[in-house]
């Protein structure tokens, strides 16, 4: 298996939070769509051919999967896609700095907060209605500024020599307790962790969430990224940690069954840690290639693209009705409701709270 390129996350998360604050001063239940479809309906007014055009994609999603998607889209449409890959927070921050001068036509993110940040700044174009109607309405922007493409689930990975299935926590809130002192691994600079903190804030309030984060810090060893964290759990360096499920599946592919000494534990559905959220894509309002950019979004929610996602090394849930990733232990309908993007906000409060307790610099 090809392991995705690791990128520094600590600086990226903190920088996005700072950028949001500075610009402000200056200025995940899933329901089936009423009419799910694999492609948007054709317009009565023919659009000009997009073949031969070129668009620039700022992508914070998994590079191998994006490469496969781009190659298929280029083959189908004749549009050239120039991909700039990086951390989703760094790329969102770059767009914030570039504003209307950004060369990006499309932005593809792993989590809603970065998309919400750009949406709140008025930098996104409305997504074509056909693309929005292809996936459940609750999985995209309520304003129609970005479309959901896939989903992932947060859970607890634990070392099977140190933790039994019965001992695996059922609540992310338990991890701040004394039972996890010196046994917990953390990757707080991962953008995947921010939505969980936001959910804890929503349930416990700012003071309660701060106390919880203080407990995590006292209990845990900090890792730069989730790849390092899941590997550390597997070799027994720490007993467990919170990650998105695909990190464990990819480690399993890399190590083989004999090399796996860890397992997945699931938080109860109502818990803040039982996060199912979406990746999404948006067209920049400043794009000079609106038709081609909208065509790329329509492609991402089409059946060919969703099948690529369902069989890729991303181990994510496709959102198109009738397409499933059967390799994931829990089907999307059993993983829990997708958290609405509005409940996750832009992540600013969560980032600032993690900075205040010293989990982020």
- The helix/strand/coil state of 263 is strand
Confidence of residue 20 (pLDDT cuts 50, 70, 90): very low
For the chain, the first-to-last Cα distance in angstroms comes to 33
Burial 182-219 (b: 16+ CB within 10 A, else e): ebbbbbbbbbbbbbbbbbbbeeeeeeebbebbebbbeb
pLDDT of amino acid 336: 82
Element (H, E) at 85: strand 80-85
Query: What are 208's strand-pairing partners?
Result: none
Burial 116-149 (b: 16+ CB within 10 A, else e): bbbbbbebbbebbebbbbbbbbbbbbeebbbbbb
pLDDT of amino acid 337: 87
Residue 25 has pLDDT above 80, yes or no: no
**Beta strand pairing status for 147-159 and 106-109?**
unpaired
Domains 10-21+51-151+278-350 and 153-275 share a fold: yes
Q: Mean pLDDT over residues 86-103, rounded?
A: 96
Residue 8 has pLDDT above 70, yes or no: no
pLDDT tens-place string over residues 213-248: 999 999 999 999 999 999 999 999 999 999 999 999
- In this structure, the number of other CB atoms found within 10 A of the CB of residue 247 comes to 25
pLDDT of amino acid 37: 36
Of 102 and 336, more confident: 102
Domain boundaries defined on the chain: 10-21+51-151+278-350, 153-275
User: Could you give the count of Cα atoms lying within 13 Å of 200 in the half-sphere of its Cβ?
Assistant: 26
Query: CB of 239 within 8 A of CB of 169?
Result: no
Q: What is the mean pLDDT of the chain?
A: 89
Query: CB of 131 within 8 A of CB of 228?
Result: no
pLDDT tens-place string over residues 116-170: 999 999 999 999 999 999 999 999 999 999 999 999 999 999 999 999 999 999 9
- Measured distance CA(290)–CA(96) in Å, rounded: 19
- Measured distance CA(76)–CA(90) in Å, rounded: 30
Two tokens, residue 286: 């400043």
**164 to each of 228, 231, 245, 286, how far by Cα in Å?**
22, 18, 18, 53
The CATH homologous superfamily to which domain 10-21+51-151+278-350 belongs is Periplasmic binding protein-like II (3.40.190.10)
Residue 2 has pLDDT above 90, yes or no: no
Q: Mean pLDDT over residues 272-287, rounded?
A: 97
pLDDT of amino acid 21: 41
Measuring CA to CA, which residue among 300, 357, 340 is closest to residue 111? 340
Element (H, E) at 335: helix 332-335
- Measured distance CA(299)–CA(70) in Å, rounded: 10
Q: Mean pLDDT over residues 203-212, rounded?
A: 98
Query: What does the DSSP assignment read for 175-206?
Result: GGSGGGTTTEEE-TTSTTTHHHHHHHHHHHHH
**Percent of the chain whose predicted confidence (pLDDT) is above 90:** 85
Lowest mean pLDDT among 40-49, 199-208, 257-266, 304-313: 40-49
Angle ∠(185,186,189) on CA atoms, nearest 5 = 155
Q: Mean pLDDT over residues 257-262, rounded?
A: 97
Confidence of residue 47 (pLDDT cuts 50, 70, 90): low
Residue 35 has pLDDT above 80, yes or no: no
Two tokens, residue 228: 């390092």
pLDDT of amino acid 65: 97
Torsion angle of C-alpha atoms 299, 304, 305, 308, degrees rounded to 10 = -170
**What is the second-level CATH architecture of the domain 153-275?**
3-Layer(aba) Sandwich (3.40)
Looking at 240-345, which runs of residues are DSSP E strands?
Answer: 240-244, 262-265, 276-283, 317-318
pTM for the model stands at 0.86
Of 89 and 46, more confident: 89
Of 112 and 32, more confident: 112
Angle ∠(205,213,361) on CA atoms, nearest 5 = 115
Query: CB of 315 within 8 A of CB of 250?
Result: yes
pLDDT of amino acid 41: 39
pLDDT of amino acid 348: 95
Residue 259 has pLDDT above 50, yes or no: yes
Confidence of residue 13 (pLDDT cuts 50, 70, 90): low
Confidence of residue 17 (pLDDT cuts 50, 70, 90): low
Confidence of residue 297 (pLDDT cuts 50, 70, 90): very high
Measuring CA to CA, which residue among 248, 211, 257 is closest to residue 357? 211
- Measured distance CA(6)–CA(190) in Å, rounded: 11
């Amino acid at each position: 298996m090809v392991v995705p390129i690791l990128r520094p996350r600590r600086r990226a998360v903190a920088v996005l939070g700072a950028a949001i604050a500075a610009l402000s001063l200056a200025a995940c239940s899933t329901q089936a769509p009423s009419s799910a479809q694999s492609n948007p309906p054709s317009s009565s007014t023919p659009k000009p051919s997009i073949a031969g055009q070129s668009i620039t994609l700022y992508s914070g999603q998994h590079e191998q999967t994006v490469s496969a998607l781009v190659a298929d889209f280029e083959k189908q449409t004749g549009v050239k896609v120039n991909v700039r890959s990086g951390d989703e927070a760094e790329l969102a921050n770059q767009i914030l700095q570039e504003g209307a001068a950004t060369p990006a036509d499309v932005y593809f993110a792993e989590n809603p907060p970065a998309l919400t940040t750009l949406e709140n700044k008025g930098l996104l174009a409305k997504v074509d209605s056909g693309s929005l109607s292809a996936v459940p309405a609750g999985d995209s922007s309520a304003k129609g500024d970005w479309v959901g493409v896939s989903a992932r689930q947060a859970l607890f990975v634990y070392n099977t020599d140190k933790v039994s299935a019965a001992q695996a926590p059922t609540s992310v809130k338990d991890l701040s307790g004394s039972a996890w002192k010196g046994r917990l691994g953390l990757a707080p600079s991962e953008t995947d962790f921010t939505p969980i903190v936001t959910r804890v804030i929503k349930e416990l309030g700012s003071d309660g969430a701060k106390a919880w984060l203080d407990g995590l810090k006292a209990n845990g060893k900090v890792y730069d990224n989730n790849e390092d964290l899941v590997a550390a759990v597997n070799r027994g360096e720490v007993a467990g940690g919170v990650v998105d499920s695909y990190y464990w599946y990819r480690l399993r592919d890399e190590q083989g069954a004999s090399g796996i000494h860890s397992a997945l534990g699931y938080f109860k559905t109502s818990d803040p840690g039982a996060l199912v959220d979406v990746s999404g894509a948006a067209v920049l309002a400043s794009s000079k290639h609106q038709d081609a950019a909208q065509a790329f979004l329509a492609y991402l929610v089409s059946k060919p693209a969703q099948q690529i996602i369902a069989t890729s090394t991303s181990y994510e849930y496709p959102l198109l009705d009738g397409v499933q990733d059967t390799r994931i232990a829990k089907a999307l309908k059993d993983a829990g409701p997708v958290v609405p993007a509005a409940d996750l906000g832009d992540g600013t409060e969560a980032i600032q709270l993690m900075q205040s307790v010293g989990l982020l610099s």
